[in-house]
A and B are shown apart, each in its own frame.
Chain A
């Protein structure tokens, strides 16, 4: 069974640009989560999808972040416009319905 995949693995952009991160969950997993780790800090929750619906988006930092999961399969997380403080590693995780979440390899975002 393929694991959670994320694309790209790295992204370096300038402040003010737009970046879109993609996550493909494990096949059949209805629950998809986005997390972020900023350097020196703990991994923090951003939002949770159940199929195509946003179940909880309480962790989204501000309205520069937009997450979508059209069709309930893969998800995208767009940052527009990017700011310096958005730099970090963005992880995606999925689960079928239980509590055990499986993480993707992450996207390392650097905003210059």
Chain B
């Protein structure tokens, strides 16, 4: 079983829709979580950090559920420019700061 798992999608949504992705993690020692956005053939770009219960930034909301070991990302009022792959990553705060990534969830927003 992978340490961080995501539904690869693609999620096809119309402009203006609300879409949510989930990411599950298997290692209960994971403490910090991140959502990265990756455009085709580009580098991952940090979208949001999730350290406690959640975080909100404009149209984007991330939530952490430690009991069920998952992180979610909610995108409201989807824009065409939101089309990308969304990567979930976790860090175990035991002195080793390596990111453990999921395979990513692809989002396609159509007009």
Q: Which residues of A contact B (CB under 8 A)?
A: 31, 33, 35, 41-45, 48, 55-56, 58-59, 91, 93, 95, 99-106, 108
Bound CA–CA A56/B99 (angstroms): 12
Nearest A residue to B42 by beta-carbon distance? Answer: A105
What A residues does B46 contact at CB under 8 A? Answer: 100-102
B37 to A: closest C-beta gap in Å: 11
Interface residues on B, range: 20 to 34
Give 6 CB contacts A-B under 8 Å.
Answer: A41-B103, A42-B102, A42-B104, A91-B43, A103-B36, A104-B43
Chain B interface mostly: strand
Interface string of B42-56 (1 = CB under 8 A from A): 111110010000000
Chain A interface mostly: strand
Bound CA–CA A91/B44 (angstroms): 9
Bound CA–CA A33/B42 (angstroms): 17
What B residues does A91 contact at CB under 8 A? Answer: 43-44
Contact of B43 among A55, A58, A59, A103 (CB under 8 A): A103
- Contact (A44, B44) CB under 8 Å given A56-B96, A100-B49: no
Are B98 and A59 closer than 8 Å at their CB atoms?
yes
B86 interface hit (Cβ, 8 Å): no
B49 to A: closest C-beta gap in Å: 6
A45 to B: closest C-beta gap in Å: 4
B21 interface hit (Cβ, 8 Å): no
Please give me the 9 A-B residue pairs with the lowest Cβ-Cβ distance, nearest first. A45-B98, A103-B43, A43-B101, A42-B103, A42-B101, A99-B32, A105-B43, A103-B44, A56-B96
Interface residues of B in 21-64 (CB under 8 A from A): 32, 34, 36, 41-46, 49
B84 interface hit (Cβ, 8 Å): no
